[in-house]
A = this chain, B = another copy of it.
């Protein structure tokens, strides 16, 4: 059996590994147009901030070769899905194909001489240019925009962020939670800013802004040969013998929506499944509940499931401390979102341990738990670790009372 994998990101690289694990004899070829092997795209803001880029390489080309996977630093220009043929430097035929071509930056306005961040080369180019810059404008206050902003601020740059929406992190947080985060961060963000044109460091938005360089982080579009995201099922199958994984795919999430996920965690899980199945295994992903997290200036921010703005439900927000009063502790903000029957569908958290709170809520959402049970289930309590009744239980009790 011969398996061809196009792309070597979290999806493609993981697919190669699991294809190998599942089938010791298959011939496996990975095409990586970048040439670095599998590295962590989520770590690119750290590279911009000065981290040695070699540290973020998780599986270098040699790793694949050592594990009997043919690694080719080659770009693929054409794919014939029906016949399993890919065309790079030459044409090659495969029994199974895995498309893991990722995504590319999307920009809704005219931009010249601006920087985008998607690849390691992009990050190195931004870092190089930023060395000579004092002022930087970032367009887009999503996860990538915010993380790059942090890296550059820490490197001593004067950073201004322009965001089209009336809040930061619009894909991850409700406005009330985003406003709380923004107050904590104390950074220069201009909201509701309609950027029309970017040329170098000159950005025409509501006003005209001048900097030494600009970075555009306004989202991505899937990289596919058809120009459209590839629809796959939970087995990561696009059609017989053809699998796809990662940011180039469109899948059904836990709430039944067909979406392009764009999360490394899901890309890796899809890669695992695509690789196993292509090699003769039988695996399936769980529909994504969309657990997301980041840490900005030491503040952990996380969310999972639906935001209030995405559902006509009931929400409760609770601002407390993560330890009993006599232990001090740190401020923790949680917001739980339930549907009209009290079934938990989403949660946002800001503060120490936010991501692990979200991991707990992901399990609750997956099991369709209601706020009544969640307000009663115990948490591990000790004064040095957690309060007797934690923020999640209190927020769920608040929703329970609203339901009555």
Contacts and interface: CB of A to CB of B under 8 A. Distances in A.
Interface of A: 10, 40, 42-43, 46, 51, 55-56, 58, 263-266, 268-269, 284-286, 288-295, 300, 302, 304, 324-327, 353, 355-360, 362-364, 366-367, 369, 373, 376-386, 388-390
Contacts of A264: 381, 388
The 6 closest A-B pairs by CB, nearest first: A356-B356, A293-B380, A367-B367, A265-B381, A291-B380, A360-B360
Contacts of A46: 326-327, 383
A15 B358 CA distance: 30
B286 A373 contact: yes
B294 A378 contact: no
Most central of A266, A300, A359 by chain B CB within 10 Å: A359
B10 A380 contact: no
A373 B366 CA distance: 10
A266 B378 contact: yes
Nearest to A284: B376
Most central of A292, A377, A389 by chain B CB within 10 Å: A377
Contacts of A385: 293-295, 300, 302, 355
Contacts of A363: 360, 363-364, 367, 369, 377
A379 B325 CA distance: 30
Give chain A's interface secondary structure class.
mixed
A386 B359 CA distance: 11
A367 to B, nearest CB: 4
**Copies of the polypeptide in the assembly:** 2
A359 B376 contact: no
Nearest to A366: B377
Given A356-B353, A359-B379, A376-B286, A389 B293 contact: no
Contacts of A355: 379-380, 382, 385-386
16 contacts: A43-B326, A58-B324, A264-B381, A264-B388, A286-B377, A292-B380, A293-B380, A294-B382, A294-B384, A295-B382, A356-B357, A360-B360, A362-B378, A366-B373, A366-B377, A367-B369
A358 to B, nearest CB: 5
A355 B388 CA distance: 12
Contacts of A284: 376
Nearest to A261: B378
A266 B55 CA distance: 46
B376 A269 contact: yes
Given A10-B388, A326-B40, A381-B293, A360 B356 contact: yes
Given A43-B326, A355-B386, A363-B369, A265 B300 contact: no
A268 B379 CA distance: 12
A404 to B, nearest CB: 12
B380 A42 contact: no
